[in-house]
């Protein structure tokens, strides 16, 4: 479709969520060296931010609700028809947080490599079987 995601909007749905239960949304600087902001997923909080290849964000801390409740949200995206054929499409770009045990998901990396190396018709044919064996 040649579109780019430009804007993310998250609306949190949990009543009475506490910071110590984890699941806070984090925004990091472009070098992935400093956390710029963190938002506890409290009910009706909306987080809206511009997104691109260098807007590092996520929910890296494990949710630890005492009754096992999940962190719930609605995610919405705004796209623009500005994609250029000179750019390479990609899935989420992962960078580990400094001082953590964050690790690259090698299955995602292998899938991206297969997409780059295999002819498109072969990649589409093998995408399902390759994902089942962790490739």
pLDDT at 11 over 90: yes
Between CA 69 and CA 4 the distance in angstroms is 33
Domain ranges of the chain: 4-87
At 72-106, the pLDDT tens digits run 999 999 999 887 777 666 556 666 667 777 776 66
At 60-74, the pLDDT tens digits run 788 999 999 999 999
How many CB atoms sit inside 10 A of residue 65's CB? 15
The domain 4-87: what is its CATH number? 2.60.120.620
> Which of 71, 79, 98 minimizes the C-alpha distance to 9?
79
């Amino acid at each position: 479709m040649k579109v780019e995601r430009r804007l993310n909007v998250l609306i949190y749905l949990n009543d009475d969520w506490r910071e110590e239960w984890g699941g806070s949304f984090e925004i990091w600087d472009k070098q992935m060296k400093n956390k710029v902001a963190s938002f506890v997923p409290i009910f009706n909080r909306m987080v809206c931010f511009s997104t691109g290849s260098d807007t590092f964000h996520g929910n890296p801390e494990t949710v630890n609700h005492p009754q096992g409740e999940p962190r719930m949200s609605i995610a919405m995206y705004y796209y623009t028809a500005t994609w250029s054929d000179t750019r390479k499409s990609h899935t989420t770009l992962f960078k580990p947080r400094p001082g953590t045990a964050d690790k690259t998901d090698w299955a995602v990396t292998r899938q991206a490599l297969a997409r780059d190396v295999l002819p498109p018709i072969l990649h589409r044919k093998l995408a399902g079987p390759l994902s089942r064996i962790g490739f």
